[in-house]
Each structure stands twice: as structure tokens, then as C-alpha cells.
Structure 1
Amino acid sequence: MDLRDYLRVLRKGWIIILALVLMGVALGSVFSLLSTPMYLASSKVFVSVQSAGTVSELTQGSNFTQNQVKSYADIITTPAVLQPVITQLQLPITAETLASRVTASTATGTVVVDIGVSDGSPQSAADIANAIASSFEKVVSSIVPVDATGTSPVKITVLQQALVPLEPATPNTRLNIILGGVIGLVLGLVVSVLRQTLDTKVRNEHDVEGITSAPILGGIAFDPRTVERPLVVQDDPRSPRAESFRTLRTNLQFLVALDRPKSYVITSSIPGEGKSTSSANLAIVTASAGTRTIIIDADLRKPKLAEYLGLEGGAGLTDVLVGRAEVSDVMQRWGSHDLFVLPAGRIPPNPSELLGSNAMIALIQKLEAEFDLVLFDAPPLLPVTDAAILAKHTGGALLMVGAGRVHKGQLKGAVAALTNVGSGLAGIVMTMLPTKGPDSYGYGRYGYGYGYGYGLEFETTPGSERKRRKGAVAPRHEEGFLPVK
């Protein structure tokens, strides 16, 4: 993953990250509120060696004390020191329990022992710390052998009595909140990165570019009302979705202008990626720009084109391929422009054989001679081989890729299905692109997101099915797809 990928992760997962940070802060606060306050009191004792006072003896005594003071500090947490404290203060705990609340430490090179005691009561913490210092002094005096004069060579002096603490040492509410927030942030980043890494769906052009080098010709914004109005370029011509089909038409113009064949197969990896509605809308905007266009419903298994365009589909491509009818007899003109539609006709028992037959090849050549652009709406590539076979005899396939719908493995399989039979992949068209978020449709290579008045009210004139914007002048004729000879 490069920097761009990480930035995309942050943009896509910021809600999760923020939620986990807030959760961490909340848990830190709750932990602080539920924790029992513990107070810390400390006393200090000085360990020294009694000597006659000569320089040599003082030096030896100092070295001896520094070497032994760590052992003396370990004595503090033993029952020998703690049990007299428990008896003196009448504490209802054992020496082992008390030892877990007592710390004894000494800095390197010093002979001062710091005794710390934590307790739920500030007064009790101070009393225990002072009692331990006193008990420690007595225990050391009793266990160190006396000299010839009967005096213990080691002397324990209390340097600092423990004072009653005014504030609890734990919990540290501020620290807990900060730690909770940091832990939540780290977890949020980890979850977002894992989510991005484990996400196998194609979400944007970056995912497509990692699978195929075919050019991305355009992107179609997702419209939840597609089922209600599949022909958006006719029903809502000023919407961002309609504008994206015009951009796709313009990009497709360059393919046709490069002396390539004028016929293309529109297909997808799996069903439900919007290939049929995209085919119909692309054909309409292409014909409206002055290009003589024909679109053929080559999905001989589940034809939808005639239904979307409101045409009779009882006779069509299958009748032409088996010799029952001529193209001119079954193709139908649609709208006021040079757009012709050849429905699928009756569903045959052998669709793949018909689409790969010599009759199909001859039909393609005939249509390319009569029309400026020939579009085939073919079945998805993964379930059946129809589209791959048909694309071999045309200028290639225009592969519709549903953002968030198709998986990367499925897209790889679709590209491989075309490659395995020698068919070309003319280009990729992203469909179902979200309108919000880091993978959203908007300004950029896919087209324009401002919509030219999208969202304004429309009215229907009596006796006409065409809608016009209230108070708007008629749109100018668009520049666009010029006929290619």
C-alpha cells in the first residue's frame, strides 16, 4: 500500500476510527470512575555503618553499606518486618497481602531506602509506612552480628516520616483517558487497514488498474431509482448520471476514430452490474449526437433491452441468424434520432453456437457497413461464454464493472475469459459508483458532478411525455459523436 492507499483508508474508515477513539476515551473515564482510589505514602531510612571514624574505616564502611543496602531493602517486604506492623496497627490482612502494597527501592550509589505504601485510606497509608520504617530498624539490628563491644555495626536512621497524602495516586484519570484514546486510535487504524486489505470487492479505478491495463472509459453514478427509470438520459437528461453517459460517449468516440472496428460488445463479469441499462442509455446519447447507431440484444438467455426501450421483442436476432427474417424486417427504429434496435427474439436452445456462427460474423460485417456504431448487449462473462465468443469478432468488449458489486477475483476471471479466446478488451466502464465518500462519483476523469440543474422541479406538458425544467430555455444541441465514415 502506498501513501494514497493509506489516505483512502483514513477517508473511508474515519467513522470507525473516531468511534473507537471515543469508545477508548469513554472506557478510560469509566475505568477511572469505577477504580478504588489508592493513596501513596512514603518514608525514607538511611543505612550507615558505625566505626571509630578513621578515614580508612569510613571508606570501608561506606563501600560495605552500598554493597549491602540492596539486601537490606529486600528485608522490608518480608514477614519479619511486616508481621510486627500488622500486630501493632491491628490490620485485618496477612503479611503476603501487605507485601503486595509495599515497595522498597534504593537508588544506585546511595544508602537511602525509600519505603512506599499504598492504601485506600490516606491516614492508614502514612501509619503503615512509618510503622514499617520502625520495624525495619529493629529487625536489622537483631539480624546483624554485633562487634566485640556488643554494638551493631549497622545503623538505621529514619530520614523522613511519611505524611498523610492529600490526593490519591491512582487512578490517574487524565492518563487513563489519554491511553484509552490512543488505544482506540490504534485499534481504529488497524481495523480500517484490515478492512481495506481484506475487502475483495472492486470499489474504484485504483482497484481496476491493479487487475487490467485496459483504459477506463468512464464511470456511471449509482442511482437507486434505476429500476423505476432505466432510461435516465431520456427521463432526467440533466442529472449527473445522464451526464456521465455523455462523457462515456465522448470517450468512446476516440476508440471508433482510431480506425478500429465500429462494433463493440457490452458485457460484465456477473449479473446485476448495470450492463443492459448502460447499453440502452449509451445508445440513446450516441444517436442523439448524430451518430447512426444500432444496438442489438445479444443476451439470448435473459433479454432485457426490448423491455427497457418499450419495444416488441418477439422477433429479432435469433430469427436473422437462423434465416427466418432479414435484419431490415425485425430491427426497429427508436426515438427521433438515427437509433435502431434489434431485439433478441425468441430464446434459442444453443445461444453460444448462434453467436459464434458464420451467420453472426456476416451480420456483424453487414451492420458495420451500414452504421457508424454497432453495440451488442451481451450476457455476463463468468456464467456463460457468449460474450467472449461474440467479442472475438468485434472491436472488443466494453466491460461494465459494478463498484462494490463485483469482486476482484471475478473481474480477473472476466478478463481472463476474454483473453483465453483471443477477444480484445476495448475498455472498462465503472458503474454503480457512489455519490459520496472517497470512491464517489464527481469531478474527475469520470465526468461532471454538478448536474446542470439537477434537482430542479420539472413539469409535464399536456399531451407530451417529455419533461422540461420550469422556467428554463430549451437546451442547445450538443457537440459530440460525429459519424465516422
Structure 2
Amino acid sequence: MELRDYVRILHRNWILILILLILGLAAGAGYAALQQPKYVASTQLYVSVHTEGAATGDLVQGTTFARQMVTSYVDVVSTALVLEPVIDELGLDDSVAGLSDRVTATTPLNTVLIDITVTDGDAEQAADIANTVASSFQDAVQETLEQPAVEGAVSPVQITVTEPAVTPTQPTSPNVRMLIILGGIIGLAVGIAIATLRTVLDNRIHTLHDIEALTDRPVLGGIAYDPEATKRPLIVHADPRSPRAESFRSLRTNLQFLNVDAGPRIFVISSAGPGEGKSTTTANLAIALAETGARVALVDGDLRLPRVADYMDIEGSVGLTDVLIGRIDVADALQKWGTNDLFVLPSGQVPPNPSEMLGSAAMDQVLAPLGEYFDYVLIDAPPLLLVTDAAVVGSKTRGVIIAAASGKTKKQELEGALRSLETAGVNLLGVVVTMLPTKGPDSYGYGAYTYGATHTEDAPAKKRKRAKA
């Protein structure tokens, strides 16, 4: 994936990532609150060898001896010899092993110093234990470990407390700030991981980039998502200044410049599956084309589940099927809609053999006069993956335009629809992305529009020839 893909992932899932970040911060704070505070108190001892009246060489030897002994004394601090008297003196409810885990003795390199550190949940008790351990260690060394051979003599090893322990004012753990930051980092990492996994596993069409990865045919336009689309499907007529209506006009402009010298402008509009907005796209595009002064014919070629008559609010009982069986002439079946030169040919009664009727010679005889008289003929066809109707009628026209719904159409479904057209030898003119969000990383740039302005576009040159009756 490219950098823009990762940016899109973060943009698309920023709410999820933010929630998990907040949860991580809260979890870190909660964990810190559940931890018992720990206080650390330290004392420092100085080990020396008594060399009263000794020469300089003896002093050096004494210092060297002290350094050697200090390494052994460090291990003695956490033994029962030192800790049992501490437990008895302070009345601690601890065993030697338990207290040993909280007492640490270290010595800096090449020194005769011993640092004793005690960790405890009570600050004052931590200092008391540290000072008592230091005192007990002094007694253990001078009275037991280094007891002089001559009775009444003084031990040559002297242990001096250079820095007694004081009561700590702040706990050393838990580190609340560090735990909160760590929780936030973990939450952020989990959020990004889930967002990336969702994107990798999501096989739906979302952006124009997804379509560009599947086909080299152009994206003719993007239609904004409208939650009220079912209530007002003809948005170009109902609310001509809305952003969604403008997106149909943008599609109209692209369609006007699509292969202008390739014969009659007869286009089939289909989709991979149902519910992807092909019928509303066809109807609104027809209205937008008629706004420019062009003669437009809207044909309902979906002889299985016709919708155009309902959307246009016209009588649909007589239409294309009646023309195909010779019951009525195409000119008589066309119904004028609106104040512009827009004519609608509904589907008529649902026949038992739609594919055969659309692929018949009678369909050629219908399309020929329509293509001769009208500047644009738009045919709404059934989904490509369900039936072959769109491919059949598409072979008789300039080509097929596929409507793919953002967030709904799966990539493999669109690939299947493209393969169906390729197998049938039908020309794919381009793709229209429907149901695009108006905000966010998947939105489509509609350009800068001045709402309320009058849209003036040059109407395409009308054809001079008319279909003979």
C-alpha cells in the first residue's frame, strides 16, 4: 500500500482509533490506581579496617582488604543473620524470605560503601527497616563475622552509617504518568492494527482508487449519498441546486464528451448487483441532459423489475414489451415528461422471456429510430451478475456504463460484471460511483459550485433527421 492508503485508513477509522486510544489511557490510569504505592528508603554504610598506629603500607592493605570484604558483606545483608533481629525488633509480620525480597544491598565499583535499599508500602516503615537493617548488619559484622580472637579486643572492621534513611515523601511506584502513556500507546497500536485489518479484509468498493485498480476505463462521475433518496429519487428535478443534483450534472458533462463521433448516443446503464442506484442514476441523468435542450429518450430496459415508471410517476402498463411484439408503434408508446424534450418509454408488462426479447431483431428496429431522432437514448438494464439482459442489449448500443455503489458493491462482484461484458464483447464506457459519502476520505470532489446560480451550458447540436412514421 502507498502512503495515501495509510492516510486514508487513519482518516476513515479515526473514531475507532480515538476510542481505543482513550480506552488505553483509561486502562493505564485504572491499572495505576489499583496498584499499592511503594516507598523506597535508602541508607549508606562505610566499611573500614581499624589500623591504629599502622604504617602507610598497612593502611593500603587495610583498604584493599575492606574492598574485598565489601562484596561478601553485600550478600550477608539479606540473610537471616541480619534480618531476624530486624523482624524481632520492629515486630514485622514477615518471614526472612519475604523481607529479603524487599531489601537490596549493592556496592559501587571499587569502593568500600554499601547501599541498603528497602521497599515497603508504608513510607515511615521503609525508613525504619532500612535503619534497623543497617544497625543489625553492624552488629553482625563486628560481633559475629569479624569477632576478634582475643577476648575484649575490638573488631578490626568498622561499619559506619554515613547516610541514615529518611522517610520518603513520594512513592516510587506505581509510575502513574508512565502507565497512562503506556496504556495510550497500546490502545493506539491496537486501534491502528484493527483499522488496517478492517481495510485489508474489506473487499467493498469505497474510493475511485479501488475502481482504478480493477479497470482502466474512466470513472465518469461520483454521485453523492442521499439518505432521502428513496423519498425523492429524481433529485435533479426535486432539488436542482443540491450537491447531489450537481453531481449528476457533472456526470452529464463527462457523458457529452464521451466518444462524440461514434454514432448514435445510445447508452445502457447497469450495475453488478441490485440496489446500487442504476435506475435513479439513469433517470436523473436523463433529466440533466434534457436541461441542456437535448432530445432525450429514457427507456426502461429492465423487463424483470422495472422501476422507471414509478420514479417518473407515469403509466407503465404499456411500453417496450408492447412495441417489441408489434402491438404498438414506438412513437405512440413514448410519453413526454416535464417541460423539456424528455420522453420516457416504460417497460410495459413483464414478459416470460426478457433476454430473448431484448436480443431480438425487433429491438434493433426500436433502437434505430430512437438513435436517429434523439440526441441521447438511455436504457436502464438489469444487473449484470443476475441476468444477461444488460450484455445482450449492450451489444446493440454504443456501450454500457456500470454503476457501482460505494461501501456496498464488492470488488469481486464488479470484477464479475466486467468479465461478463468482456466475454460478451460489449464495450465498457466507464463507471459511475454512487452513494459516495459527502465527507471523509471516500468522498468525491464535486468542484466549486455557486448554489443558486443558473447553469448555462451549450446544448449539443441537434440532429436534423427525424424518424419517419
Residue of 325, 329, 334 corresponding to 1:331: 334
- 2:195 maps to 1:192: yes
Q: 1:240–1:451: 8 Å Cα contact kept in structure 2? A: no
In 1: Cα distance, 2:190 partner to 2:202 partner: 18
After superposition, give the CA deviation of every residue in 1:124-170 in whole Å (9 maximum; x if it has no partner). Answer: 10111122223334555688688988997866443321111122222
Q: 1:292–1:483: 8 Å Cα contact kept in structure 2? A: no
Residue of 159, 178, 181 corresponding to 1:178: 181
Shift of 1:479: 0.9
Q: Which moved more, 1:233-242 or 1:406-415?
A: 406-415
**C-alpha distance 104-383 of structure 1, shift in aligned 2 (>3 A):** farther
Q: 1:305–1:343: 8 Å Cα contact kept in structure 2? A: yes
1:340-379 equivalences under 5 Å are 340-379=343-382
Residue of 280, 284, 287 corresponding to 1:284: 287
Q: Which moved more, 1:421-430 or 1:384-393?
A: 384-393
In 2: Cα distance, 1:43 partner to 1:120 partner: 18
Q: 2:318–2:347: 8 Å Cα contact kept in structure 1? A: yes
- 2:99 maps to 1:98: yes
2:451 counterpart residue number = 452
Residue of 290, 297, 300 corresponding to 1:297: 300
Residue of 448, 461, 468 corresponding to 1:483: 461
2:14 counterpart residue number = 14
Amino acid at match of 1:43: T
**C-alpha distance 352-98 of structure 1, shift in aligned 2 (>3 A):** farther
- 2:239 maps to 1:236: yes
In 1: Cα distance, 2:365 partner to 2:190 partner: 62
The CA RMSD measured in Å over matched residues stands at 3.0
1:312-327 equivalences under 5 Å are 312-327=315-330
**C-alpha distance 295-117 of structure 1, shift in aligned 2 (>3 A):** same
In 2: Cα distance, 1:382 partner to 1:61 partner: 93
Q: 2:297–2:342: 8 Å Cα contact kept in structure 1? A: yes
1:115-264 equivalences under 5 Å are 115-139=116-140, 156-259=159-262, 262-264=265-267
Amino acid at match of 1:478: T
Amino acid at match of 2:345: L
Shift of 1:298: 1.1
Shift of 1:197: 3.0
Q: 2:278–2:380: 8 Å Cα contact kept in structure 1? A: yes
In 2: Cα distance, 1:68 partner to 1:325 partner: 118
Where structure 2 has 5 or more consecutive residues not aligned to the other structure, the ranges are: 464-469
1:88 counterpart residue number = 89
Shift of 1:447: 4.2
SS at match of 1:100: helix
Residue of 55, 58, 61 corresponding to 2:60: 58
In 2: Cα distance, 1:116 partner to 1:309 partner: 87
In 2: Cα distance, 1:204 partner to 1:167 partner: 55
Q: 1:315–1:345: 8 Å Cα contact kept in structure 2? A: yes
Shift of 1:49: 6.2
Q: 2:46–2:162: 8 Å Cα contact kept in structure 1? A: yes
SS at match of 1:257: coil
Q: 1:77–1:99: 8 Å Cα contact kept in structure 2? A: yes
Q: Which moved more, 1:342-351 or 1:320-329?
A: 320-329
**C-alpha distance 54-306 of structure 1, shift in aligned 2 (>3 A):** same
Q: 1:293–1:338: 8 Å Cα contact kept in structure 2? A: yes
SS at match of 2:119: strand
Amino acid at match of 2:132: A
Shift of 1:108: 4.0
Shift of 1:295: 1.6
2:441 counterpart residue number = 438
1:306-317 equivalences under 5 Å are 306-317=309-320
Amino acid at match of 2:9: V
Q: 1:257–1:484: 8 Å Cα contact kept in structure 2? A: no
2:4 counterpart residue number = 4
Shift of 1:54: 5.7
Q: 1:102–1:115: 8 Å Cα contact kept in structure 2? A: yes
After superposition, give the CA deviation of every residue in 1:402-459 in whole Å (9 maximum; x if it has no partner). Answer: 1122222322222222223222221111111122323234xx3x444x5614xxxxxx
In 1: Cα distance, 2:232 partner to 2:372 partner: 33
1:471 counterpart residue number = none
Amino acid at match of 1:93: D
Q: Which moved more, 1:142-151 or 1:9-18?
A: 142-151
Amino acid at match of 1:421: A
1:456 counterpart residue number = none
Number of residue pairs aligned between Structure 1 and Structure 2: 459
1:425 counterpart residue number = 428
Shift of 1:484: 6.3
**C-alpha distance 234-119 of structure 1, shift in aligned 2 (>3 A):** same
**C-alpha distance 105-201 of structure 1, shift in aligned 2 (>3 A):** farther
**C-alpha distance 65-416 of structure 1, shift in aligned 2 (>3 A):** farther
Q: Which moved more, 1:330-339 or 1:211-220?
A: 330-339
- 2:395 maps to 1:392: yes
Percent of aligned pairs sharing the same letter: 50
Amino acid at match of 2:133: I
**C-alpha distance 272-70 of structure 1, shift in aligned 2 (>3 A):** farther
After superposition, give the CA deviation of every residue in 1:55-89 in whole Å (9 maximum; x if it has no partner). Answer: 59837963x76677555434433444333321221
Q: 1:144–1:152: 8 Å Cα contact kept in structure 2? A: no
Q: Which moved more, 1:88-97 or 1:71-80?
A: 71-80
Q: 2:319–2:349: 8 Å Cα contact kept in structure 1? A: yes
